[in-house]
Amino acid sequence: MKKNIVVLSGAGISAESGINTFRDADALWEGHDVMEVASPLGWQKNPALVLDFYNQRRKQLLDVFPNEGHTALVELEQYFNVCVVTQNVDDLHERAGSRDVMHIHGELLKSQSTINLDVTYPCLTDVNIGDCCELGGQLRPFIVWFGEEVPLLDAAIAKIIEADIVIVVGSSMQVYPAAGLVSFAPADSRVYYVDPKPSVNDALAQAATLEVIESTAAVGLPKLTKQLIDAL
């Protein structure tokens, strides 16, 4: 029987494909204070700015490609049951070939009704003021902003509690509740943390078996993949 691997991926793995993060730039994301473009208050104050911001991010996404870190995780699927629980809103895991991906912070290539948040639409082009759902509600990015609940949190926890192996990659381990997910891993699971500047938080420190791989995702994940396959 195949063992279960849960991958908790963060912005670092996408950064290697050319998608900018905000944690390395004094909390500025593409020149904007993140609360202006990633919070309900920012949306209320200036929805046109928020829509334009994500329109630009969407265009950027269509110009970048998965890297060796993404493809290494796909290789693991030949030998393990792999679920990717990602904080990232891009589709690079899917484009690389990962089949089980859970986006706990939303998806850039979808829009969402402001009247019924359960209603989403595929979105490959710009969303503008005046673009509405069938009920007449303005469309917004399908993104879980700061201060909003994480709808898929319980589903992610359910995956973690069944994990034999947990791989944390490209995450600062500072954004909660995502940063606390690893604490739900079984006591006998093995935890690997791949990051060029690893920050071992309390949840990681509690892991009975923790291996820190101080490397970028594109370099560290292929090595870890080989290690895990060779150990079978």
How confident is the model at residue 22, as a pLDDT? 63
**Mean pLDDT, the chain, whole residue set:** 92
How confident is the model at residue 191, as a pLDDT? 94
pLDDT-wise least confident of 128-132, 175-179, 195-199, 209-213 = 175-179
d(CA 33, CA 99): 34
- pLDDT for 76-127, tens place per residue? 999 999 999 999 999 999 999 999 999 999 999 999 999 998 999 999 999 9
Mean pLDDT of 17-25: 73
Compute how many other C-beta atoms are within 10 angstroms of the C-beta atom of residue 42.
21
Mean pLDDT of 26-40: 80
For residue 198, say if its preceding peptide bond is cis, omega within 30 degrees of 0.
Answer: no
Number of H helices, E strands in the chain: 9, 11
Residue with tokens 């209603």: 119
Give the active site residue among 70, 93, 103, 105.
Answer: 105
Whole-prediction pTM value? 0.94
How confident is the model at residue 24, as a pLDDT? 54
d(CA 88, CA 102): 10
* Largest distance between two CA atoms of the chain: 56
In the chain, what are the domains? 1-19+67-105+150-232 (3.40.50.1220), 21-63+107-143 (3.30.1600.10)
Q: Is 103 annotated as catalytic? A: no
